[in-house]
Amino acid sequence: MAWTLWARSPAREERGVSLFDEEYWEERYQTAAAVWSGEPNRQLVAETAELAPGTALDAGSGEGSDAVWLAGRGWRVTAVDFARTALERGAQAATAAGVADRIDWVHADLRSWTPAEQYDLVSAQFFHLAPPERGTVFATLAGAVAPGGRLLVVGHDVSDLESGAHRPHAPERFFTATEVAASLDPAEWEVVTAATRRRPALDHEAEHHGVTVADTVLVARRLS
């Protein structure tokens, strides 16, 4: 689930539609041929390209670019999102890529969904809930990592608020990799990466070329 293009709409607010409601995202997807680029998130590629494939949970899968990329590299993926239109697009992309048999598409709200199994990789890309809801969801996702598996959490860094990128002014929804790492029991987890990485903004992230944004990246391996 990403929020790069969030824009407050008075009409939506009058209807009481939250930016994290299924209705909001369904409207977003249904009013555009594609919301995202169709390319996998770059931090996912950087952190998993050398891993042996196993089972993966793509939390907030959107239109499925990460799930399709992982499946193409041999992973068995469970892709979860609460927007049916996004899931349908992901399934179409998987069929076109020849990996439909390697992805299970699950319609669910991650704020209330509980995984029925554990995975070798759990990926949450740009999942910017407000606290304390965010901590609850991240704890659920951490619990879904199998022993020896990895948790990958990527978010927009709070410095993006000053970068000129399209980000809502909601500082409470930003987090750091260090904060997520601190929520993990050191007796059960090895923090592999907790870093902020700068990169050029994508076309949909800023009005002008040359804007630099930052991703906060956590990778942790479960010991037991």
For 65-90, write each residue's pLDDT tens digit: 999 999 999 999 999 998 989 899 99
Domain of residue 124: give its range.
10-222
5-64 pLDDT, tens digit each: 344 443 443 333 355 676 677 677 777 666 666 689 999 999 999 999 999 999 999 889
Query: Is residue 4 one of the residues assigned to a domain?
Result: no
Q: Are strands 119-125 and 103-107 parallel, antiparallel or unpaired?
A: unpaired
96-107 pLDDT, tens digit each: 999 999 999 999
Residue 115, preceding peptide bond in cis (omega within 30° of 0): no
Q: Which of 7, 14, 44 is nearest to 28 (CA)?
A: 7
- Structurally, how many domains does the chain consist of? 1
Query: Is residue 14 one of the residues assigned to a domain?
Result: yes
Q: Which residue has the higher pLDDT, 67 or 161?
A: 67
Q: pTM (2 decimals)?
A: 0.84
Query: Is residue 3 one of the residues assigned to a domain?
Result: no
Distance (Å, rounded) from C-alpha 117 to C-alpha 134?
Answer: 21
Query: Is residue 132 one of the residues assigned to a domain?
Result: yes
Q: Which of 55-59, 91-95, 158-162, 194-198 has the lowest mean pLDDT?
A: 158-162
Does the CA dihedral 98-103-104-105 come out positive or negative? Answer: negative
Cα 24-29-73 angle, rounded to 5 deg: 120
The CATH number assigned to the domain holding 25 equals 3.40.50.150
Residue 183 DSSP label: T
